């Protein structure tokens, strides 16, 4: 007889038959992971960067078309300056060490959010990363940096309002589709699945418009421990869901 692990693997593979096109992850729990291991918070962030690498590789191998990561919210600027400085330093090291590998894997990197109020070196690295990978056709890796969904929605509304004021757009032309095209995520596939680690069960101002009909999976694992196995568990749970988009089941219930 097959082992319990083999049965679980077979079940997971069967459930993953319909792999989502677009997966977003709220990478939560770096600080709590560090505390649980008696380590400084920065070590949690450093291990979290390693989890990012594993996640991009897993997305590439599993056939996920787009992966969007919540790396730094617009509210995170309220954190201590020392921690922000450590996070920016980690971002610099990540781009310098991983950019060529991402490019070699045909990954296209895109940064979304409310501008980037960081030092010029960070901005230059972000621009270089996006430009180098602009023509790549593999996984669409989107990093939400200095991002807040309410702000994104407000900016989209302002953009459309200016077009109405300029006479190039009528109010009745503002459809959900046109509004989506004004968001930072324009051009990405519809969001299918949102994963949040650490056991917390909220969206925390992340992709509020885009997640209207996305499946939500909350995992009891801190982000630094996230790996392909946890990704597969989330995709298996997604595969077991019946997505009706406001409709009804075939039975009519």
Consult the annotation and say whether 134 binds a ligand.
Answer: no
Consult the annotation and say whether 32 binds a ligand.
Answer: yes
| DSSP-assigned states of every residue in 166-183 | TTSS-GGG--HHHHHHTS
Consult the annotation and say whether 31 binds a ligand.
Answer: yes
Using CB atoms within 10 Å of the CB of residue 21, give its burial: 0 to 12 exposed, 13 to 18 middle, 19+ buried: middle
Consult the annotation and say whether 30 binds a ligand.
Answer: yes
Consult the annotation and say whether 22 binds a ligand.
Answer: no
Residue 136 is among the residues annotated as catalytic for this protein: no
Consult the annotation and say whether 47 binds a ligand.
Answer: no
Using CB atoms within 10 Å of the CB of residue 68, give its burial: 0 to 12 exposed, 13 to 18 middle, 19+ buried: buried
Q: Which of 102, 169, 192 is nearest to 139 (CA)?
A: 102
Question: Distance of CA 20 to CAs 114, 136, 248, Å?
Answer: 27, 20, 21
Consult the annotation and say whether 215 binds a ligand.
Answer: yes
Consult the annotation and say whether 203 binds a ligand.
Answer: yes
Among the listed residues 28, 98, 184, 192, the single catalytic one is 28
Q: Which of 193, 109, 203 is nearest to 152 (CA)?
A: 203
Residue 28 is among the residues annotated as catalytic for this protein: yes
Among the listed residues 76, 136, 151, 205, the single catalytic one is 76
Consult the annotation and say whether 45 binds a ligand.
Answer: yes
Consult the annotation and say whether 73 binds a ligand.
Answer: yes
Question: Distance of CA 152 to CAs 44, 74, 127, 158, 247, Å?
Answer: 28, 11, 20, 10, 28
Consult the annotation and say whether 41 binds a ligand.
Answer: yes
d(CA 40, CA 71): 19
**Residues making up the binding site for Mg(2+):** 28, 215
**Residues making up the binding site for substrate:** 29-33, 41, 45, 73-75, 77, 79, 196, 202-204
Q: Known catalytic residues?
A: 28, 76
**Residues making up the binding site:** 28-33, 41, 45, 73-75, 77, 79, 196, 202-204, 215
């Amino acid at each position: 007889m097959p082992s319990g692990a083999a049965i679980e693997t077979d079940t997971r593979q069967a459930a993953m038959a319909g792999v989502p096109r677009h997966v977003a992850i709220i990478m939560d729990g770096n600080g709590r992971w560090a505390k649980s291991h008696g380590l400084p918070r920065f070590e949690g962030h450093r291990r979290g960067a390693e989890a990012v690498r594993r996640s991009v590789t897993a997305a590439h191998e599993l056939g996920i078309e787009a992966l969007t990561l919540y790396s730094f919210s617009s509210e995170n600027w309220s954190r201590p300056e020392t921690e922000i400085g450590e996070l920016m330093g980690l971002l610099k090291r990540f781009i310098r060490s991983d950019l060529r590998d991402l490019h070699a894997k045909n990954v296209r990197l895109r940064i979304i959010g409310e501008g980037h109020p960081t030092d010029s070196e960070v901005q230059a690295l972000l621009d270089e990363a996006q430009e180098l990978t602009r023509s790549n056709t593999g996984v669409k890796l989107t990093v939400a940096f200095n991002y807040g969904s309410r702000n994104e929605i407000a900016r989209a509304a302002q953009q459309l309002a200016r077009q109405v004021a300029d006479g190039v757009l009528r109010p009745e032309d503002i459809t959900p589709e046109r509004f989506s095209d004004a968001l930072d995520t324009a051009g990405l596939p519809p969001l299918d699945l949102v994963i949040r680690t650490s056991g917390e069960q909220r969206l925390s101002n992340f992709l509020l418009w885009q997640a209207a009909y996305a499946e939500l999976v909350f995992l009891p694992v801190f982000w630094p421990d996230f790996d392909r196995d946890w990704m597969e568990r989330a995709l298996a749970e997604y595969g077991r869901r019946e997505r009706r988009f406001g409709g009804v089941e075939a039975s009519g219930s």
